[in-house]
Amino acid sequence: MSSSFSTPFNTSALGSWGFNTSAPSRPLAAYGWDDAWAAEFAPYAEQGLVPGRVVRVDRGQCDVATADGTLRADTAYVTPHDPMRVICTGDWAVVEPGGDPRFVRAYLPRRTAFVRSTSSNRSEAQILAANVDHAIIAVSLAVELDLGRIERFLALAWESGAQPLVVLTKADLVPDPVGLSYLVRDVETAAPGVQVLPVSATTGEGIEILAAVVAGGTSVLLGQSGAGKSTLANALLGAEVMEVQAARDVDGKGRHTTTTRNLLVLPGGGVLIDTPGLRGVGLYDAQSGVGQVFAEIEELAADCRFHDCAHGAEPGCAVLAAVEDGSLAERRLDSYRKLLRENQRIVAKTDARLRAEIRREWKAKGAEGRANGLLKRGR
């Protein structure tokens, strides 16, 4: 099987970052391997299988970084019907030690998983990255801030189990420090408990701080096309590894520079998963994540007169009282309601789909049983 495949980045620069397929240039520890992963892998080690971190998935195959270098493996054995169980970038794979082609036999239980609903109306999940410690939400300062979209990303990030971080890219386009501080403050109000960091790949502002934050684990880089994710990845890598395309001046949007999710080892420590720009960011069973983003509203709701208060027109609503006295922005409440409604719809659709699938399985099993009965009776 040929190992050639299309790539959106400069492969000649990968050897120095641990992607050399001929010889290992870094131990697996550089990819996040630790004693806990080793303990999880122990039963597979007894079978002579080898561990590796999935650095890229495409076309039913994946690239896996092992102690002997990066290899190409087929994912046929780990491609179930459930989209939540398909192998993805960031997984720790269980790989055959030899053979052509090689196969991924399993993957270790995930510590965290960043999941969104698909853009279709089928209420299905799409897993974007696994075993992530930090979710970096890149937001371009070249265009007007969309606080609602930031809150949406944050809900998914909190739900994943990762620690969110909002990075305001292209900070050099806001030369006035006072104006920049206002923008940071606006985002901080939409991201309670989350660090908000203005950065500029052009001037280097904030890059060292960001590199120190992500040095201790695995980070996934998220955002819309044109947010400057590939430029930011290059700044963290210290090399032009990811291709960069200019965003349109009119709306700050760009074409999808990154077309697959790629895991890259950072020279200062840690690994980075770069993702394609996300046009749609649908919630998927993210109620706790929404609650984390709007923690101040849920704290206020505890003082409402009715435990099932919808914060609409009920008497004794502490949330509405906070809006009236100005301590809670009405925009925040509107965004909270919108995300909760969306999440409730997707959960209801998911439950209905699962029930329909169970009914289909029952019918299929019943038909099979009836057919077997007829065969036994010689009909």
Average pLDDT estimate for 102-113: 93
Distance, in Å, from the CA atom of 45 to the CA atom of 68, rounded to the nearest integer, reads 15
Q: How confident is the model at residue 79 (pLDDT cuts 50, 70, 90)?
A: confident
Greatest Cα pair distance in the chain: 87
Phi, psi angles (nearest 5°) of residue 30: -65, -25
Distance, in Å, from the CA atom of 230 to the CA atom of 258, rounded to the nearest integer, reads 7
Determine which of 99-113, 256-270, 309-323 has the lowest per-residue pLDDT on average.
256-270
Would you state the pLDDT for residue 256? 42
Bridge partner list, 56: 63
Angle at 30 between CA 98 and CA 52, to 5 degrees: 25
Which positions ≥6 away from 32 have C-beta within 8 Å?
Answer: 53, 131, 217, 218, 271
Crossing angle of helices 229-237/207-214, nearest 10°?
80
Residue scoring higher pLDDT (56 or 344): 56
Q: Which residue type is seen at 263?
A: L
pLDDT in tens, 272-297: 999 875 655 666 777 888 999 999 99
DSSP 146: -
Query: What do you get for the CA distance between the two ends of the chain, in Å?
Result: 48
Dihedral sign computed on CA atoms, order 304, 310, 316, 322: positive
Does 14 have pLDDT greater than 50? Answer: no
CB-neighbour burial class of residue 8 (10 A; exposed 0-12, middle 13-18, buried 19+): middle
Distance, in Å, from the CA atom of 143 to the CA atom of 363, rounded to the nearest integer, reads 53
Q: How confident is the model at residue 27 (pLDDT cuts 50, 70, 90)?
A: confident
- The answer to whether the CB of 28 falls within 8 A of the CB of 43 is no
- The answer to whether the CB of 36 falls within 8 A of the CB of 64 is no
Paired tokens of 60? 């039913």
- The answer to whether the CB of 70 falls within 8 A of the CB of 20 is yes
Q: Which residue has the tokens 């290992």?
A: 24
* 3-class state of residue 241 by DSSP: coil
Average pLDDT estimate for 230-245: 76
Nearest to 60 by CA among 20, 94, 98, 103: 103
Alpha helices for the chain (secondary structure H): 35-45, 147-160, 177-190, 207-214, 229-237, 287-293, 295-301, 318-324, 330-376
Distance, in Å, from the CA atom of 58 to the CA atom of 73, rounded to the nearest integer, reads 11
For residue 41, the Cα-to-chain-centroid distance in whole angstroms is 24
Distance, in Å, from the CA atom of 365 to the CA atom of 369, rounded to the nearest integer, reads 6
Secondary element (H or E) of residue 151? helix 147-160
pLDDT in tens, 169-228: 999 999 999 999 999 999 999 999 999 999 999 999 999 999 999 998 999 999 887 888
For residue 7, the Cα-to-chain-centroid distance in whole angstroms is 20
Determine which of 3-12, 177-186, 249-258 has the lowest per-residue pLDDT on average.
3-12
Q: Which residue type is seen at 268?
A: G
Dihedral sign computed on CA atoms, order 26, 30, 35, 37: negative
